[in-house]
Amino acid sequence: MTIGALSLYRPVWEQSGNRVAGQDEDVLTLAVAAARPLAERHAVERVVVVTGTPDVVVGFGTGVVARALDLAEDAPVELRLGGAPALLDAVLSAGPGSLVVGVDLTGHAAASGAAWVTDGPGAELTAAGRVTGSLPMRVRAVGADHTTTYGDGRVERELATVPLVGRLRSADAPLVVGISPGEARRLGARSAALPAPGPAGVLFALAEASSWPGGTVRVVALDAAGGAAADFRPGPVEVVRDERPALSVDERPAVGEDVVIPFSMPAYARAFDAKIGMVAATCSCGETSYPPRQVCLNCGRYDDTRPTPLRRTGEVYTCVKVHVPIPGVAGPYGLAIVALDDSPVRVLAQVADVGRRETGIGERGRLVLRRVAVREGVPDYGYAFRSEFDAAGKGVPA
Amino acid sequence: MRDVAVVGAGMVPFGERFDQGMKELLPATLRNALASVDKGMAKPEIQAAWFGQLQTSDGHPAGVLADSCGLLDIPVTRIENQCATGNDAVRNATLAIASGAVDVALVIGADKTRETPSVSTFWDWMGLARDRGWDYPLGLIAPANFALHVARYMHEHDVAPEHLAMVAVKNHHNAVTNPIAHLRMEVTVEQVLAAPRVVGPFGVFDCTPQSDGAAALLLAGGELADRYTDRPVWVRGVGLGLDRVMHAHKTDMTSFPATVKAARAAFAMAGIGPSDIDVAEVHDCFTGVELMNYEDLGFCERGQAKKLIESGATELGGSLPVNPSGGLKAKGHPPGATGVAQCVELFEQLRGQACNQVGTPRWALAHNVGGPTAVSAVTILGAARD
């Protein structure tokens, strides 16, 4: 299998040295954050999202992923449950044109990555062993808030980690995902700073290995009693990183009082394609409307339009910060009207990843998919404005 | 068209009226309006009623008015046009009398803004004005709705927070001597600037309170006016204007096109211009909005509102007092009642009997702008019939 490109995403919020998700992020938005840069650059025929920590199982927004990535109508999006080994399995079994996305999302670490599989140039990944065992050191039942951990780390080390690494490694020091850097050293493994131990961690490890001098690297992915190994032969892999300077989680907007926000499924459905795909309507006279409208305000024609994809970059026309606590909305939050590039269209969006800093008129940035609200239990996705300035007011790539 | 006279006007105090429902507020307001008619008016003389109410709080609005006030034998129409509801109700009744179809009409506006818990109130009101699929989930609350405009307006015209605070200081000052006002307290520029922030440039003292209240006018055909009073006030112009509903669609957010259109229509009907206005009640739901209104209504050139407020011209005793009642900012803002209450104030001003009387005005203007800043209504009242 050939990996042509890798994309890595970490949320901006930092807590105890780790990055954690924003209040407007979930497995789906983390997946899109990593996948979108590759979908913009390459033809994607199918998407597999691998996560060991699904937050939505029934009603997962595969359609949201498809529209947010501008996939073809018939492109399948699959949600697969599993840890680091499952990510290696997914890449090894993927055909050219596949995008394999890994998401780690827990209360203390969040990251995502994506790999684009190609039949063109890239880095080769070859299967090198698989072990499936049972040592349920950590268990989280569906609906449970916390994970139950068997309280003896040496049991995992002696019964799982040591024998698994022994069986899956090659003669050279392997790169192991799913164990701490200290454990890796003790086992004579190569060390890499990985933001998360699961599926996303594997993709960060591959990106790390792609820059190492020398030949093939054995990658071993562990998940308690299971493990998978693959040989990664570095090649021309494009690596895209979206890792902004950290912002303390103390500045992360938070929901104060909670409330059930009314939701209309028909209104959601009517808005969906244009909203999540960011597709405007252009009348035969040239007038562009977003959201698409039936009657052209320029020439009066009725429903004579073609869909027009919008750019996701633009400039703030006006913006405000909402300081007053609004029940059910994480705050303080910013609202901005953003004039999109190369288009007469402006969009209203919440401001993402900004902390205490106030966004200013004229700031440039990008619209990114976020979970804008949860209404009557239904996650509602849309676009938020992410400035090209970080929290300190310094420029970062949009 | 037939001339239309205002022959009576009355209201109830604005404020937190937890003890009064619609069924109590409406009869009390009608009684006060009838009692204000110099030569008296009996309830059966009213031939039709227009009831401005934005939020339904006690069920079917028209039915509640007819039932609670004992007006079961006349047609009652509920008007809902967001925060322009009050002056739109005045407009509808005016047109009915002007057409000759009705001789004597009641215009009454009322709202109860505190009938649901404060935890849900923002969502209740957003539900009235936002697209459920697009803007509603983003938390575009009413103050943000206006703050997005005012932030851009301040940016383009170099308007300082102090200019906004001056509006609050002025209107709070006016409300102190208005017995029906909700917030009868002075504030200083320093207090306004130091107040807890709400949205963008607005602090707590830049925002209207949530008020309950009701106000009513009694209108009559011109030839019938002297049956009721020797000092009628005349409805000389009415106008309603609309604009795009989504903020992203408003091309120039430093102006409210709805206001420009409503004012143009009302001035054209009255045959006068902005410089003829002697006193005005304008929609100051948030301080910066009053400044934008000065420009949209033609009281000054674009970008000159800060000079106008600095000059003191819009204070009591100035050349064009604005919001002598205290405005929405301090008198209060029960949306359905607000526009009608503005006309109650101006009725009294034009008759020389207002609590904050501003000399002997001849022309007065009432203005609302509301909803997703997509609708405005303007009423021009005159002391003279022609």
Nearest CB neighbour to B141, from listed A267, A322, A345: A322
Q: Is the pLDDT of residue B371 over 70?
A: yes
The answer to whether B182 is a known catalytic residue is no
Q: What is the mean pLDDT of residues B285-292?
A: 98
- β-pair type (A217-223, A175-177): parallel
Which whole-number Å values give the CA distances from B340 to B25, B90, B96, B334, in the listed order?
A: 14, 7, 17, 10
Q: Which residue of A has its CA nearest to B135?
A: A348
Spatial CA neighbour of B284 closest among B243, B213, B338 = B338
A68 touches A369 (CB < 8 A): yes
Closest approach of A329 to chain B, Cα-based (Å): 7
- The DSSP element (H or E) to which A37 belongs, if any, is helix A27-41
Closest approach of B259 to chain A, Cα-based (Å): 20
Q: Is the pLDDT of residue B226 over 60?
A: yes
Q: Is the pLDDT of residue A273 over 80?
A: yes
- Per-residue tokens: B353: 């009997």
Preferred mutation among A255, A265, A318, A345 to probe B, highest tally of B CBs within 10 A: A318
- What is the DSSP secondary-structure string of B138-166? GT--HHHHHHHHHHHHHHHHT--HHHHHH
Q: How many CB atoms lie within 10 A of CB A301?
A: 14
A342 residue type, one letter = D
List all residues of chain A from 48 to 77 with a beta carbon under 8 Å from chain B.
none
Query: What is the C-alpha to C-alpha distance for residues A112 and A204, in angstroms, rounded to an integer?
Result: 9
- The DSSP element (H or E) to which A80 belongs, if any, is strand A77-81
Place of tokens 């989680």: A249
- What is the reported pLDDT for B118? 80
- What is the phi/psi pair of residue A41, to 5°? -100, -25
Query: What is the C-alpha to C-alpha distance for residues B200 and A322, in angstroms, rounded to an integer?
Result: 6
Q: What is the mean pLDDT of residues A225-242?
A: 94
Query: What is the C-alpha to C-alpha distance for residues B21 and B30, in angstroms, rounded to an integer?
Result: 14
Across the beta sheet with B363-370, what order do the strands follow? B76-79, B48-52, B104-111, B213-221, B4-11, B233-242, B375-382, B363-370, B279-281
Question: CB distance from A363 to chain B under 8 Å?
Answer: no
The reply to whether residue A322 touches residue B139, judged by beta carbons under 8 angstroms, is yes
The reply to whether residue A335 touches residue B144, judged by beta carbons under 8 angstroms, is yes
How confident is residue A143, by pLDDT bands cut at 50, 70 and 90?
Answer: confident
Tens-place pLDDT, residues A172-218 = 999 999 998 888 889 999 978 899 999 999 999 999 999 888 889 99
Nearest CB neighbour to A320, from listed B132, B144, B248: B144
Q: Is the pLDDT of residue B128 over 90?
A: no
Q: Show the DSSP H helices in chain B as ranges.
A: 22-35, 61-69, 85-98, 118-129, 142-157, 161-176, 189-194, 225-228, 257-270, 287-296, 305-311, 327-330, 335-350
How confident is residue A391, by pLDDT bands cut at 50, 70 and 90?
Answer: low
DSSP 8-class letter at A328: T
How confident is residue A397, by pLDDT bands cut at 50, 70 and 90?
Answer: low
Q: Among positive and negative, which fits the CA dihedral B6, B8, B13, B16?
A: negative
Nearest CB neighbour to A335, from listed B119, B134, B148: B148
Nearest CB neighbour to A318, from listed B119, B133, B152: B152
Q: Which residue of B has its CA nearest to A323?
A: B198
The reply to whether residue A382 touches residue B138, judged by beta carbons under 8 angstroms, is yes
List all residues of chain A from 233 to 272 with a beta carbon under 8 Å from chain B.
257, 259, 261-264, 267-268, 270-272
Residues of A in contact with B147 (CB under 8 A): 320
- The DSSP element (H or E) to which A86 belongs, if any, is helix A84-92
Give me the catalytic one of B149, B163, B182, B333: B333
Q: Which residue of A has its CA nearest to B252?
A: A317
Q: Is the pLDDT of residue B132 over 80?
A: yes
Q: Is the pLDDT of residue B177 over 80?
A: yes
Question: CB distance from B151 to chain A under 8 Å?
Answer: yes
Residues of A in contact with B134 (CB under 8 A): 271, 275, 291, 348, 382
Residues of A in contact with B138 (CB under 8 A): 335, 348-350, 372-373, 382
Residues of A in contact with B126 (CB under 8 A): none
The reply to whether residue A259 touches residue B148, judged by beta carbons under 8 angstroms, is no
The reply to whether residue B198 touches residue A323, judged by beta carbons under 8 angstroms, is yes
Beta carbon pairs, A and B, within 8 Å: 109
Tens-place pLDDT, residues A252-269 = 999 998 899 999 999 999
- What is the reported pLDDT for A147? 85
Tens-place pLDDT, residues B35-83 = 999 999 999 999 999 999 999 888 999 999 999 999 999 999 999 999 9
- ipTM (interface predicted TM): 0.95
- What is the reported pLDDT for B7? 98
Nearest CB neighbour to B139, from listed A262, A317, A329: A329
The answer to whether B300 is a known catalytic residue is no
Closest approach of A266 to chain B, Cα-based (Å): 8
Nearest CB neighbour to B133, from listed A271, A320, A337: A271
B107 touches B52 (CB < 8 A): yes
- What is the DSSP secondary-structure string of B235-255? EEEEEEEE--SSGGG-S-TTS
Residues of B in contact with A324 (CB under 8 A): 141, 143, 197-199
Question: CB distance from B119 to chain A under 8 Å?
Answer: yes
Question: CB distance from B155 to chain A under 8 Å?
Answer: yes
Across the beta sheet with A305-309, what order do the strands follow? A288-289, A279-283, A305-309
Residues of B in contact with A318 (CB under 8 A): 148-149, 151-152, 155, 253
Tens-place pLDDT, residues A335-353 = 999 999 999 999 999 999 9
List all residues of chain A from 316 to 335 with a beta carbon under 8 Å from chain B.
317-324, 326-329, 331, 333, 335
Query: What is the C-alpha to C-alpha distance for residues A398 and B80, in angstroms, rounded to an integer?
Result: 44
Query: What is the C-alpha to C-alpha distance for residues A298 and A100, in angstroms, rounded to an integer?
Result: 44
Tens-place pLDDT, residues A15-54 = 999 999 999 999 999 999 999 999 999 999 999 999 999 9
A179 touches A160 (CB < 8 A): no
List all residues of chain B from 182 to 201 with a beta carbon under 8 Å from chain A.
196-201
Core vs surface per residue A254-279: b (16+ CB within 10 A) or e? eeeeebebebeeeebebbeebbbbbb
Question: CB distance from B149 to chain A under 8 Å?
Answer: yes
- What is the reported pLDDT for A72? 95
- β-pair type (A333-340, A313-322): antiparallel
Q: Among positive and negative, which fits the CA dihedral A23, A27, A28, A30?
A: positive
Query: What is the C-alpha to C-alpha distance for residues A96 and A110, in angstroms, rounded to an integer?
Result: 28
The answer for residues whose C-beta is within 8 angstroms of residue A145's C-beta and 6 or more apart is: none
Q: What is the mean pLDDT of residues A53-67?
A: 92
Spatial CA neighbour of A310 closest among A349, A274, A278, A346 = A278
- What is the reported pLDDT for A343? 94
DSSP 8-class letter at A383: E
The answer for residues whose C-beta is within 8 angstroms of residue B194's C-beta and 6 or more apart is: B203
Query: What is the C-alpha to C-alpha distance for residues B327 and B282, in angstroms, rounded to an integer?
Result: 7
Closest approach of B128 to chain A, Cα-based (Å): 12
Question: CB distance from A385 to chain B under 8 Å?
Answer: no
Residues of B in contact with A272 (CB under 8 A): 133
Query: What is the C-alpha to C-alpha distance for residues B296 and B252, in angstroms, rounded to an integer?
Result: 12
